[in-house]
Chains A and B, each alone.
Chain A
């Protein structure tokens, strides 16, 4: 079977390619050029810079597979970067990696792969796809290595997308992946993991948003829950719900530490308050994707409200218009609009959506 592997130049996707090649598949390595790397020169973020593309090419040569760089700058800008900017402008905290997965890697790249005669696209995600023999449906499950699990970022894949997705490292531990990379003498075996958002230089997303959408950089006030003005700010895109640092408030004016509770783009207000005020029991989500179809009514599940959040027991129910309601058994801290809420049944992803 011919399989296209999305190679970022990191150790996970490199090992994914090496494993598939070792299994005897006809593997084609592809790296996506997602933004203009000539602009930022050396100061670009951690993933998919020119060095990373070169690393991917070196790995492909080491395991003797063809490798191509595809230019997806236009699609990436349309689907991922524009959304990232507009979400911040709306006082929300976006999750670009999830959009990149559903709208680029398992959309545009799959289409291209088909043109090269490939039936599937593999990535280095720590997640698993399983086909239920009885129903023929595809299940999306957490990666075996709980500390690396990335199923959260894949919740919006459809059945058609899952049918073409392969995650070769999903059933491995990170240590094992590195060990395998060393064993195969891959040039990226000891390369550090990427952390930042790849297209934002120096992780300075506020400057990035401001540059793309100058209108967002409008000053406003910071208020407490009663509306009392505590300070001023340079734009709501600089804040995220749950944030404590960088508010520019003196402790004398607030007493106890305060946290961002809400962002109001209309009047450009940042509402702050004490930590207990961050607790919420319920949320609604939009753009909901159900992995094996929409349930008929509310069901028990665990729900995860950000990447590093232990999924919490909840009742999850579908609402009209691809929406859903989640009611947690216990209050959750800092439910952040724009992030994904993902529902699980044990290790299996039931579905997920974007927090309103």
Chain B
């Protein structure tokens, strides 16, 4: 038995999604822009999916734009607003320091083109203080982008409060909800945001489909230009099977939200509690109160997380050291660093993220393997032969 506890990287498809993607691939091959029967069927399937995604967010179907995924949705929101508002003289962007690379690197790209950007730091709780956003605002701030839930530690950000601050200064508010959509209830009206990004494959849907919710009337330039797809907002022939799959996944998530939140939350809590109790020198990174129910990020003192990850994988347990997007780099997690943790602690931390198919047996399996592996790695470090004992060059 292999254990998959890396749902924040990607999720297995729900059975209904697999069926929907397969059937759509086989039967609905029409181009959704075509006038004929085949086109009409494809278009109808996309619009069904649009309604399902809108319902998950309490938005209107006309406000949903399908994209290729979370990264495109974030790019679309940020670049689209920047381009739309540039003529008004706004040249400043604000985000939290713990955003996903899709946001941070888009900010960097715009900074190279003359935009000013401000990243607001967070404390050890991993939760943004809205007043720090207020301090970061300028008269020409075009957009504030703060993630709804953090991908590495799962903390939930006070989006409604931040949105109110953004709007006070006439800025638009975007939230990257890739890690919260499907995990906790989302109501775009209550959050008060103008834009919200989500991704299909993080909620048991297919890869290659995502959505940007755009509040009606929001000024936004398209990222992709071409045909008149998606009401002129996103050109390119629609990926009908993936969009249909996303719709089914969104519907399932909405339907199972209450029971799954409780079930997965209980599994996560048992996993986390037992690790803390049975493995010395462990601590949870970030707030345990305000976070999505499926995620825990734990630091293991005197263990290099990369080694523990591999040792666990060889035992059939898949977890992550943080963002899958930053695997293979030497840089310690920018999220944990932004929270004020040392590079050392950042490199000692593992993320466990659970989901739809996670079971008690999987939790048992991890708890059976983990303490021994941690002990073993710590003994090797103690033997004095491990290079990890040397002070880290980047510590500080």
- A contacts, CB < 8 Å to B: 2, 28, 33, 66, 68-71, 73-75, 107-108, 111-112, 114-117
Contacts and interface: CB of A to CB of B under 8 A. Distances in A.
Which of A2, A69, A71, A115 counts the most chain B CB atoms within 10 A? A115
Nearest to A38: B329
B310 A73 contact: no
Given A108-B387, A111-B386, A114-B380, A71 B311 contact: no
A71 B386 contact: no
B387 A71 contact: no
Of B327, B328, B386, the most chain A CB neighbours within 10 A belong to: B328
Chain B: interface secondary structure? helix
Contact of A115 (B376, B392, B393): B376
Given A115-B377, A116-B314, A69 B385 contact: no
Contact of A71 (B330, B385, B392): B330
B306 A28 contact: no
Nearest to B394: A74
Given A28-B314, A68-B310, A74-B393, A115 B380 contact: yes
18 contacts: A33-B328, A66-B313, A66-B314, A68-B310, A69-B327, A69-B328, A70-B306, A71-B329, A73-B330, A74-B330, A108-B387, A111-B387, A115-B376, A115-B380, A115-B386, A116-B307, A117-B311, A117-B376
A180 to B, nearest CB: 26
B387 A116 contact: no
Contacts of B327: 69
Query: Chain B, interface size: which category?
Result: 10 to 19
Contacts of A2: 314
B343 to A, nearest CB: 11
A107 B310 CA distance: 18
Nearest to A79: B387
Nearest to B378: A115
Nearest to A2: B314
A114 B314 CA distance: 13
Contacts of A71: 306, 328-330
The interface centre, meaning the residue of A66, A68, A117 with most chain B CB atoms within 10 A of its CB, is: A68
B224 to A, nearest CB: 26
Contacts of A66: 313-314
Given A33-B328, A66-B313, A71-B328, A115 B307 contact: yes
B307 A112 contact: yes
Interface string B276-317: 000000000000000000000000000000110011011000
Contact of A116 (B311, B328, B330): B311
A117 B314 contact: yes
Contacts of B377: 115
A68 B328 CA distance: 9
Interface in B339-391: 376-377, 380, 385-387
B386 to A, nearest CB: 5
Nearest to B311: A116
Contacts of B314: 2, 28, 66, 116-117
Given A66-B313, A70-B306, A111 B385 contact: yes
A114 B386 CA distance: 10
A111 B310 CA distance: 14
Contacts of B387: 75, 107-108, 111
Given A114-B380, A116-B310, A117-B311, 17 more contacts: A28-B314, A69-B327, A70-B306, A71-B328, A71-B329, A73-B330, A74-B392, A74-B393, A111-B380, A111-B385, A111-B387, A112-B307, A115-B307, A115-B377, A115-B380, A116-B311, A117-B376
Contacts of A108: 387
B20 to A, nearest CB: 29
Contacts of A68: 310, 313
Contacts of A74: 330, 392-393
Contacts of A117: 311, 314, 376
Q: Which of A2, A73, A74 has the most CB of B within 10 A?
A: A74
Contacts of A114: 380
Contacts of A115: 307, 310-311, 376-377, 380, 386
Interface string B308-337: 001101100000000000011110000000
Contacts of A73: 330
A270 B144 CA distance: 62
A73 B330 CA distance: 8
Contacts of B306: 70-71
A119 to B, nearest CB: 13
A70 to B, nearest CB: 7
A242 B327 CA distance: 45
A37 to B, nearest CB: 10
Nearest to B314: A116
Contacts of A107: 387
A162 B132 CA distance: 58
Nearest to B385: A111
A114 B307 CA distance: 10
Nearest to A37: B328
A46 B377 CA distance: 34
A339 B68 CA distance: 54
Contacts of B313: 66, 68
A115 B376 CA distance: 7
Contacts of A111: 380, 385-387
A69 B329 CA distance: 10
Nearest to A110: B385
A49 B393 CA distance: 24
Nearest to B328: A69
